[in-house]
A and B are shown apart, each in its own frame.
Chain A
Amino acid sequence: MKTYLKLNNDVLNRYNTTGQLELEKDREATRRYFLEYVNVRLRYFIDIEEKIRYLVEEGYYEKEFIELYDLEFIKHLYKKAYDYNFRFPSFMSASKFYDSYAMKSRDGEEILEKYEDRIVIIALYLAQGDTDLAERAVEAMMEAYQPATPTALNSGKKARGELVSCFKLSMDDSMNSIAENIGYCLELSRLGGGVGVNLTDLRPLGDPIKGILNRASGVIPVAKLLENSFSYSNQLGQRNGSGVVYLNIFHADIENFISSKKPNADDKIRLATLSTGIILPSIFFDLMKKDKDIVLFSPYDIHREYGKRMSEISISEMYYELLDNPRIRKIKRLNARKLYTEVKKAQFESGYPFEIFDDNVNEVHPLKNIGRVAMSNLCTEILQLQQKSIITDQDEPNEYGLDVSCNLGSIDIHEASKVEDFGRLVDTAMRLLTNVSQMTHIKNVPSVAKANRLMHSVGLGVMNLHGHLVTQGIMYGSKESVDFIDGFMEALNYYSLKSSMEIAKERGETFYQFDKSEYANGNYFESYINKEEKEFRPESIRALGNVPIITSAMWKELAEDVKKYGLFHSYRLAVAPTGSISYIRSCTASISPCTERVEVRDYADSRTIYPMPYLTNDNAHLYVEAYDVNAYDLIDLYAAAQKHVDQGISMTLYVTDAWTTEQLAKIYIYAWMRGIKSVYYVRQRLQTLEECVACQI
């Protein structure tokens, strides 16, 4: 038996039986893991020169990016990384890194990279010959920045997948578009991506085709086609592809859509592996509050009558107009409260659908004059506008619109509060993300390639909030914690804008149609410039550490610079759920509370026990588990962060099986009232977290 596994398992067993943590067992497990597993497999190289030469010659590393630097610099960078004296803080972090991220020989027997080696290669690869950026990248990654899994895993490798893995596609109401998008899904799934597809614009079941009524099959069969495509395109059988489909709650197929995830649904309509999400305009909540019926519409009528697709209009603004227009069919009337109760029921039984609060997203959307945000991605943190592609017959050229690919990275809040120059850290992260975006070209999905070229969107997020709060003696969900995240995210927003402005200035280039954005006309900055300087609680100030508090004067100056130089990125911030990457860094996930003080993760090869970072017998009471956090406090915390994030935050809600559908409805309504943009899963106790499949290995 592997003694390190036994030692690691003992941590949980002792904790369960005695309530006492014996972290030395985990440390001993890590030590034994190196002795018994890592060290014996690690390939020995005489020096760095020999290491690089071997890995390039044997076809493990690409040689092009290595050749951009001279050897002395590369050696210097390795030394820099190794001088941090990095040690894996937990068995989980070490085993996760060596199992999934480190370069191994083709037969899997030899380990070819240590942690520092991977960091240096990511830095050299992403810096693209810019030695200054490469140095900064090593600093940032050794200290507080972590690129998302696809980037961290694939950078520099010769046989590699894509650097990005998150996509959004928009389907149009035509067979050409359906077929084309299924092709895109196969392609993106092959590349290991998770794909979101918006079905809102498809005509519902029973709608006319070529004027003949009762011919259309509706959205569910299309969803089934997508599900089958994702399972077919399965990474050489390594894992199933993954996708999510979105539908507006006013779409006539909504009832079938909601029940499609129930485990007891008919197999013909049951979506077993595809995730679902619904789009909720504010008018839905208004009608529900008044206990009114809602009317379901067909996008076919809307398009014919107004020349716009259902996803391109604001249902909240147009609802009564649609009701009054005799040429718009009122396909069905449903009591809003009953419908929403059905949604809650489905969420209890399956965790789905996700919810996107349409108006909360679009009212504060900085690019609202350019287009609407109609949907989200697999983890509900990406919220970007799209433009429909016109897919024509084969004898005519297609007109490509804009779809979305997103590359993500996260800042470790705890480490970030300790770095000397927070602004520089954010700037480095933004530059690395920018390069990932520039290096990505998804040639088989032209709408994605086009948007990437024009929009330069990235998604910088954060992790380890709960871990940091514990080190500061602050309770998750308390006023101090809300204060802290408010200040932290404002600073992140400020410095990411500053960085984007600097990059635009250096390159003399902004994102497409910057001049029409709320950034250009200054509206975006108004609330920041006019804000009252807030009194931070002393605990929150201490927790911010070196992260500066941003004043309205600073905002004023930045607004002027942005007006003058523009911004390079159409979208900058998005807080992902962070699975594997937070394990490697021994962080808590995203800004969510921990689910268990001592967590159990099952990976392909074994069960791993992960005591939360910085957890000791003395601070265990601060590690309140997600199910014990007041749901309203949790929402307040997310709302405070959301104000400063141009895209979304992946927010999971935690309930126990004692909750009713009404209680669940109430917290969603509260989230909507507080300006939350999206809700990811609902989890019940006794269920463990799974992570974004697109980011999993």
Chain B
Amino acid sequence: MSNLIYEAVNWNKPTSELAQIFWDQQWKQIWFPEEIAVSKDVKQWQNFEHQETYKKVFAGLTLLDTVQTNIGMNQIATYATDLQEKAVFTVFGAFEAIHAKSYSYIFTTLCTNSEIDELFEWVKKNEYLQYKANKIGDIYNAIEEGNQESLWKAMFSSVMLESLLFYSGFFYPLYLGGQGILRNSAEVISLILRDESIHGVAVGFFAQNLFKQFSNEKQDELKVWGYELLLDLYQNEMSYTDDVYAETGLSPDVKAYVRYNANKALMNVGFDAMFPEEEVNPIVMNGIRNEGSTYDFFSQKGSSYAKAKMAPITDDTFDFKNRI
């Protein structure tokens, strides 16, 4: 038996700035795909013109969320040093698993079994998808115990994945949903997006804290590494977009959206934006509102779930001297 000293996570003392806040926010917005009536999209789906693109977009997203669950958050949680941050990453990982499963839920609702099998085969064969999965997966797997630089690189990659790579896929359901097409699937995406935006901000924040500990020379070196990785992923993303969106004529719009999100990803890790500002389709932009405008009156779930802050009623509660 080994003789290690195990330390218990102590939430009574904040050891990491904001860990509690990210934890609370993530749990506040818990959701499950089964709460959304994707079956209401079935009728529209049958006459939908670009089924192939739509399915591929979702299959691609499934792969990214799978990588993020199985490798990304797991690896980061393993090597992060702060116990509260570890807990936050583990929770994030659980949500990634919900996301990956929710695409399957949409497939099961809309597609036949053989179509689904074909799609998962396509994922294995698509060079651009495999390229980004490999690129990021390798960085995740390269984290070494005690090597902060490797951990930072993994966090950086995680932010690129969650704040940038997802968005070439998110574009399509948001674009369609805003026009009343396949609205319920879009609702699932908007819930995923709501989670991913916390993940991007949180992991980016922790990465920034880590980054500050490096020497200036190291920081410069990592910056170059970071921008190079981003450019590499960006080039691949452009090709992926052309490939998947070919029949729809939407490629230019998707690319603009990817650049917009690339800038946001860079800001999340504390780097300067690199693409000039440009106009993004307003319907897609309005789809990112985190307010959850399709509040479900009936299930009372979705974005309205909020925990009350308890405080006892006292004599002062009845005191309105200032008022009357």
Contact = CB atoms under 8 A, between A and B. Distances in A.
Given A345-B308, A632-B323, A661-B310, A6 B303 contact: no
Contacts of A16: 285
B141 interface: no
B318 A669 contact: yes
B304 interface: yes
Contacts of A472: none
B301 interface: yes
Interface stretch (A76-84, A524-532, A684-692): A684-692
A670 B318 CA distance: 8
B307 A349 contact: yes
Contact of A661 (B291, B311, B318): B311
Interface of B: 177-180, 183, 281-283, 285-287, 289-295, 297-301, 303-315, 317-318, 320, 323
**Max chain B Cβ within 10 angstroms of own Cβ: one of A9, A261, A663:** A9
Interface stretch (A49-57, A123-131, A462-470, A605-613): A605-613
Contacts of B291: 600, 686-688
B282 A660 contact: no
B283 A5 contact: yes
Contacts of A102: none
The bracket for how many chain A residues form the interface is: 35 or more
Interface stretch (A179-187, A336-344, A384-392): A336-344
Given A289-B318, A602-B294, A263 B301 contact: yes
Contacts of A337: 312-314
A687 B294 CA distance: 9
Given A10-B282, A690-B297, A684 B179 contact: no
Contact of B306 (A340, A669, A684): A684
A673 interface: yes
A419 B34 CA distance: 52
Interface string A223-242: 00000000000000000100
Given A341-B312, A659-B309, A665-B317, 9 more contacts: A261-B300, A344-B308, A602-B183, A607-B287, A660-B311, A662-B313, A669-B318, A688-B291, A688-B292
B219 to A, nearest CB: 31
Given A273-B298, A341-B313, A663-B311, A263 B292 contact: no
Interface of A: 1-2, 5-6, 9-10, 12-14, 16, 240, 261, 263, 272-273, 288-289, 291, 337-338, 340-341, 344-345, 347-351, 600-607, 609, 632, 657-663, 665-666, 669-670, 673, 684, 686-688, 690, 693
Given A9-B283, A600-B286, A688-B292, A349 B313 contact: no
Contact of A601 (B283, B290, B293): B293
Contacts of A669: 317-318
A603 B300 CA distance: 18
Contacts of B283: 1, 5-6, 9, 607
Given A601-B293, A659-B309, A687 B303 contact: yes
Contacts of B314: 337, 662
B245 to A, nearest CB: 14
B179 A5 contact: yes
B295 A687 contact: yes
A289 B313 CA distance: 9
A665 B313 CA distance: 7
Nearest to A351: B304
A445 to B, nearest CB: 24
A688 B286 contact: no
B179 A350 contact: no
Contacts of B299: 272-273
Nearest to A341: B313
A674 to B, nearest CB: 9
A281 to B, nearest CB: 17
Nearest to A288: B313
Given A341-B313, A662-B311, A693-B297, A609 B303 contact: no
A13 B286 contact: yes
Contacts of B301: 263
B185 to A, nearest CB: 14
Contact of B285 (A13, A341, A344, A690): A13
Contacts of A14: 282
B220 to A, nearest CB: 33
11 contacts: A16-B285, A288-B313, A341-B312, A605-B180, A607-B287, A609-B286, A657-B309, A658-B309, A662-B312, A669-B317, A686-B292
B179 A661 contact: no
B309 A661 contact: yes
A660 B310 contact: yes
B304 A607 contact: no
A601 B286 CA distance: 11
A660 B318 CA distance: 15
B313 A670 contact: no
A684 B303 CA distance: 11
Contacts of A10: 282
Which residue, B282, B285, B301, B304, has most C-beta atoms of chain A within 10 A? Answer: B282
A416 B172 CA distance: 46
A1 B317 contact: no
B316 to A, nearest CB: 9
Contacts of B290: 686
Contacts of B179: 1-2, 5, 606
B308 A661 contact: yes
Given A288-B313, A662-B317, A349 B305 contact: yes
Nearest to A686: B291
Contact of B298 (A240, A601, A663): A240
Contacts of B285: 9, 13, 16
A350 B306 CA distance: 8
B102 to A, nearest CB: 19
B282 A12 contact: yes
A263 B303 CA distance: 12
A337 to B, nearest CB: 4
A604 B184 CA distance: 10
A352 to B, nearest CB: 8
